[in-house]
């Protein structure tokens, strides 16, 4: 035999009819009327809180779904092991530039994606070019695309 108490928590909907009956009762005590008033005020506050929370959720959703082209240019730096990626607005055309660098050597992300190196000598493929591992290129590309490149 189970002797543990069963906890029943009434819902707001199940409480409305009894409180309306209290309000309709001409002989209801002040305490009963006050309790009914408090109940309806709690319902109203809960509804207001829900509405406010929902408005915040809608604003967050709208911000999250804003097109990247509608956002201001991003300027930022990402660090990927020994490599650094920099995004800055392009002065010659709409959009951003992305550069990849190691030490003091820098190439555009497009060069790194196409050739797998940071070009150091003025001609791609020459001795001294810095090899960028494909895993790093993929991580930098994903980061750059997430940030408006």
SS3 103: coil
With 0.75 as the threshold, say if the pTM is over it: no
Q: What is the pLDDT of residue 29?
A: 94
Mean pLDDT of the chain: 83
Q: What is the pLDDT of residue 138?
A: 92
Of residues 92, 90, 130, the one with CA closest to residue 112: 130
Sequence length of the chain is 149
What average pLDDT does this structure show over 98-114? 87
- pLDDT, one tens digit per residue, over 107-143 is 888 888 888 888 887 777 677 788 899 999 999 999 8
| Interatomic CA distance for residues 130 and 104, integer angstroms | 11
Q: In sequence order, what E strands does 29-139 have?
A: 76-80, 83-89, 96-102, 105-108, 117-118, 130-131
- pLDDT, one tens digit per residue, over 22-47 is 989 999 999 999 998 998 899 889 88
Of residues 78, 112, 139, the one with CA closest to residue 87: 78
8 A C-beta contact, residue 147 and residue 87: yes
| Interatomic CA distance for residues 62 and 34, integer angstroms | 42
8 A C-beta contact, residue 78 and residue 109: no
- Where exactly are the structural domains of the chain? 12-64, 71-146
């Amino acid at each position: 035999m189970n002797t543990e108490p069963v906890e029943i928590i009434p819902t707001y909907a199940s409480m409305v009819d009894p409180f309306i009956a209290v309000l309709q009762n001409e002989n209801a005590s002040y305490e009963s009327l006050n309790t009914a008033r408090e109940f309806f005020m709690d319902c109203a506050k809960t509804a207001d809180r829900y509405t406010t929370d929902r408005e915040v959720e809608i604003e967050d959703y709208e911000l999250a779904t804003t097109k990247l082209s509608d956002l201001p240019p991003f300027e930022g730096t990402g660090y990927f092991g020994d490599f650094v990626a920099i995004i800055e607005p392009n002065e010659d055309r709409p959009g951003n530039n992305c550069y990849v660098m190691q030490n003091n050597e820098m190439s555009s992300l497009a060069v790194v994606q196409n050739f797998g190196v940071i070009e150091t000598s003025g001609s791609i493929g020459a001795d001294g070019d810095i090899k960028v591992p494909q895993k790093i290129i993929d991580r930098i590309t994903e980061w750059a695309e997430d940030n408006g490149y």
